[in-house]
Amino acid sequence: MSTRAKAHNDKEGKLPVRDVDDDAALPAIMDVGEFSLLSMVGASRMFNESVRRIGRIAMRDASVLIEGETGCGKEMAARAIHYLGARRDRPFIPVNCGAIPDTLIEAEFFGHGRGAFTDAREARAGLIAQAHGGTLFLDEIDSLTPKAQVSLLRFLQDQKYRPVGRDVELKADVRIIAATNKLLTELAGSERFRSDLLYRLNILYLHIPPLREREGDAELLAQHFLRHYAKKYNLPPKRFSPQTLRWIRHHDWPGNVRELENTVHREFLLSEGDVIEFGCVTHASELMPETAAFSAEDYATLDFRSAKTKAIEDFERAYLARILQVAHGNISAAARIAKKERRAFGKLLKKYSISREQFI
């Protein structure tokens, strides 16, 4: 990308979709400070819509509320908003609201003077002073106590604050970006979050979609993380087996991008050879055949013990067939997915006269 093109993207607040094979495709602004687009990889419609909205929000200097499930990339989006905006040369200060004790909330946010409380041996600037001119990112904003919510609301009204133990009132120029994995409107409706604080935060709104709604992105991200960790550990490149890629593509990923990255990281380090295989069938509906060997009426004609034995046999037969189908007839891979020893898995196949050849 030319320097002129980079400048144009910077000026317009556009966050280009990254080609996962082209590290040089990132605009220069993406390498500022500690920010990187490591997790912002994708090509789905939902991803592209989020990227475009991030670009627009970055150019409007107002408070932002980001909502999305755990691990979907809310902090990454907040960093993108900061480093694509006019405050990019000023600090980006992240804070986990759930980690601040209620008794220290004002001191943490606004700072304190010397002797303001026990152990306050010297004056200290708070998070707001540290973020002056830049962005204060408040993660898990929903965990703030009522007292903390009042303190933050007071600052948001006029961006003025008073350090604990001091009489002077100070002013700070800070952009607030808040994030939560809860729905603040629901919390406000049940009076667990202040409505007036919600209105102050929710000037600009961004929803980060879960990975399961980003069709095709899980596979792109997995391949990207695989290359990243090969480079990080200076190890030979590895690849996913076809069945593993298929499993990655269809898994729900309740932990979203964070879960996917941690999974790839672990499997990359622990796998032997240059082919990575992992994944398992997790839903009961995936374990049963489309048409059961016995109907409900058939089971009703059997005594309890016979019906139970038949149900177990039907389950085992269907499960083995489905696992072999996922593993394309590879018995070793199927045994790993089932978390059984290969010999025991082979005995089960022999018991039900299931041949691997029909799944190759």
Summarize pLDDT for 317-344 with one digit per residue, the tens: 888 888 887 777 888 888 888 888 888 8
CATH architecture assignment, domain 214-359: Orthogonal Bundle (1.10)
> How far apart, in whole angstroms, are the C-alpha atoms of residue 262 and residue 150?
37
Compute the average pLDDT of residues 51-73: 94
- Taking Cα atoms as reference points, which of 303, 313, 75 lies closest to residue 178? 75
Percent of the chain with pLDDT over 70: 80
- Looking at this protein, which amino acid is placed at residue 120? A
> Does pTM surpass 0.75?
no
Summarize pLDDT for 135-151 with one digit per residue, the tens: 999 999 999 999 899 98
- Taking Cα atoms as reference points, which of 135, 41, 142 lies closest to residue 79? 135
Which of helix, strand or coil describes residue 175?
Answer: strand
pLDDT at 294: 52
Cβ atoms of 172 and 129 within 8 Å: the answer is yes
3-209 against 214-359: fold identical: no
Summarize pLDDT for 178-217 with one digit per residue, the tens: 999 999 999 999 999 999 999 999 999 999 999 999 999 9
More confident residue, 167 or 193: 193
- Place domain 3-209 in its CATH homologous superfamily: P-loop containing nucleotide triphosphate hydrolases (3.40.50.300)
Crossing angle, helix 45-58 and helix 74-84, to 10 degrees? 40
- Taking Cα atoms as reference points, which of 299, 233, 289 lies closest to residue 264? 233
Domain boundaries, the chain: 3-209, 214-359
Cβ atoms of 97 and 136 within 8 Å: the answer is no
Other Cβ atoms closer than 10 A to 198: 18
With a cut of 60, say whether residue 57 has pLDDT above it.
yes
Summarize pLDDT for 74-132 with one digit per residue, the tens: 999 999 999 999 999 999 999 999 888 887 888 889 886 665 555 656 767 889 999 99
- Name the phi and psi angles at 170, rounded to 5: -115, 160
Summarize pLDDT for 9-56 with one digit per residue, the tens: 444 444 433 333 333 333 333 333 344 444 478 899 999 999 999 999
